[in-house]
């Protein structure tokens, strides 16, 4: 086993500015509990906390999910799993992406399950595991039923890999098998049904099923049960976000867990005819008050949000000029003190800005808004 890379970059967190992401752990627990109430008896939930818990905090989100009844966790890369282990989390952890075979021994040592998508990976990892004298490595075989990303593409190839695992039970534990649906969050189920048929063709070559059989991401779990297994991978729903973006109604109330607030760094009177920000894309038509906020696209707030709004004192205030790397400007109805609270995502009075609202204006999906919220923005955890 090769020595693990131990270079940790400095994480700069903005503790001395007022920009803060508030994460409501009670909302996370509510969403997990609500989904577990709908699952069939004997079905387990692995909470997906990859990408820093979709921007909400890897360890904190993971612990909240486990408190609410999840029995395992899913991540995207091995380092996320190692971070959870270092935090004292002992439940099963599955790495959903492909990990280089050279780290097979490290994963086995830490009892971390790895995804495998072809026989070559197994044949490469085998001698490394034997050389390291590692404990058997837990494996989940990924199947490509139509996502086109990773995994076995033909049932015959799957059967060969399963036979290989059986012949090398001293090195591998065949713990799980899974696929991922590409269109489970869409109303048209044609492609979803095609993937279900391919899944069944794969299952037909298995002499026996492993402990975990899982096809359900959040969208599949919410709206489909055609070929569910005995475990679901609950992801974006944990954080109160609808995977369809709202085009399909969730069967229960998803409670958004994150809000984003700041305060003014500067408030000034802008004379008519004066311009704001790079490119001078905004020019005041009349005298007005302008507030500068200490947050920008380096923090994950999209550059293209000019013309959108934030909430100040329960009112919508337009973002004027281009969003800068570290700051943005808004037009105010009148002068405000610099310590006035400003809401970029969340509720202020009777007004609310959802993460979906931000995503819609930015021309993207709320997954991207959540996961690109930068590490400079401190997460403050609350139970409300």
State both tokens at 314.
């329960």
Q: Which residue out of 40, 50, 54, 297 is catalytically annotated?
A: 50
Burial class (CB in 10 A: 0-12, 13-18, 19+), 300: buried
Task: For 87-138, give the secondary structure using H, E and C.
Answer: CCCCCCEEEEEECCHHHHHHHHHCCEEEEECCHHHHHHHHHHHHHHCCCCEE
Q: Which residue out of 2, 166, 209, 278 is catalytically annotated?
A: 278
What is the spatial distance between Cα 183 and Cα 363, in angstroms, rounded to a whole number?
Answer: 19
What is the spatial distance between Cα 117 and Cα 181, in angstroms, rounded to a whole number?
Answer: 16
Q: Phi-psi bin for 254: left (phi > 0), alpha (psi -120 to 50), beta?
A: beta
Measured CA angle at 244 (ends 243, 247), to 5 deg: 150
| Burial profile 208-240: b = 16 or more Cβ within 10 angstroms, e = fewer | eebebbbbbbbbbbbbbeebbbebbbbbbbbbb
What is the spatial distance between Cα 97 and Cα 220, in angstroms, rounded to a whole number?
Answer: 19
H helices of the chain, where? 25-38, 50-54, 58-68, 78-86, 104-109, 119-132, 155-167, 190-203, 218-223, 355-362, 366-371
- Of 265, 274, 360, 242, the residue nearest 309 (C-alpha): 360
How many residues belong to the chain?
A: 384
What is the spatial distance between Cα 273 and Cα 62, in angstroms, rounded to a whole number?
Answer: 51
374: CB partners within 8 A, 6+ apart: 298, 299, 300
Task: Tell me whether residue 40 is one of the annotated catalytic residues.
Answer: no
355 is in an annotated binding site: no
What is the spatial distance between Cα 277 and Cα 198, in angstroms, rounded to a whole number?
Answer: 53
149 is in an annotated binding site: yes
Task: Tell me whether residue 278 is one of the annotated catalytic residues.
Answer: yes
What is the spatial distance between Cα 305 and Cα 236, in angstroms, rounded to a whole number?
Answer: 23
- Of 150, 255, 138, 235, the residue nearest 185 (C-alpha): 235
Residue 320 near residue 306, CB atoms below 8 Å: yes
Residue ranges at the known binding site: 149, 325
Residue ranges at the known binding site for substrate: 149, 325
Active site residues: 50, 278
């Amino acid at each position: 086993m090769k020595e693990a890379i131990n270079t940790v970059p400095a994480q700069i967190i903005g503790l001395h500015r007022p920009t803060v992401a508030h994460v409501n752990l009670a909302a996370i627990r509510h969403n997990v509990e609500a989904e577990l109430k709908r699952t069939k008896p004997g079905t387990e939930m692995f909470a997906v906390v990859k990408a820093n818990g979709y921007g909400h905090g890897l360890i904190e989100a993971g612990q909240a999910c486990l408190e609410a009844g999840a029995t395992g966790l899913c991540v995207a890369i091995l380092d996320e799993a190692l971070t959870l282990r270092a935090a004292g989390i002992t439940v099963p952890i599955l790495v959903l992406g492909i990990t280089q075979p050279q780290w097979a021994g490290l994963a086995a040592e830490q009892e971390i399950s790895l995804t495998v998508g072809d026989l070559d990976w197994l044949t490469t990892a085998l001698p490394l595991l034997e050389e390291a004298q590692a404990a058997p490595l837990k494996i989940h075989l990924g199947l490509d039923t139509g996502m086109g990303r990773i995994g076995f593409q033909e049932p015959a190839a799957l059967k060969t890999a399963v036979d290989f695992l059986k012949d090398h039970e001293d090195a591998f534990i065949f713990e799980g098998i899974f696929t991922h649906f590409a269109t489970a969050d869409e109303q048209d189920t044609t492609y979803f049904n095609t993937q279900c048929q391919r899944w069944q063709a794969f299952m037909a070559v298995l002499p026996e099923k492993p402990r975990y059989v899982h096809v359900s991401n959040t969208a599949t779990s919410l709206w489909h049960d055609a070929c569910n297994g005995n475990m679901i991978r609950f992801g974006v729903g944990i954080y109160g976000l609808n995977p369809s973006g709202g085009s399909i109604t969730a069967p229960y109330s998803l409670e958004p867990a994150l809000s984003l607030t700041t305060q003014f760094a500067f408030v000034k009177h802008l004379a008519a005819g004066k311009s704001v920000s790079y490119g001078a894309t905004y020019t005041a038509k009349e005298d007005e008050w302008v507030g500068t906020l200490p947050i920008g696209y380096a923090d994950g707030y999209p550059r293209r949000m000019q013309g959108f709004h934030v909430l100040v004192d329960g009112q919508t205030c337009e973002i004027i000029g281009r969003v800068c790397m570290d700051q943005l400007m808004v037009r105010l109805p009148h002068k405000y003190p610099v310590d006035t609270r400003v809401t970029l995502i969340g509720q202020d009075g009777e007004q609310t800005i959802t993460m979906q609202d931000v995503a819609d204006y930015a021309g993207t999906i709320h997954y991207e808004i959540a996961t690109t919220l930068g590490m400079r923005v401190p997460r403050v955890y609350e139970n409300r």
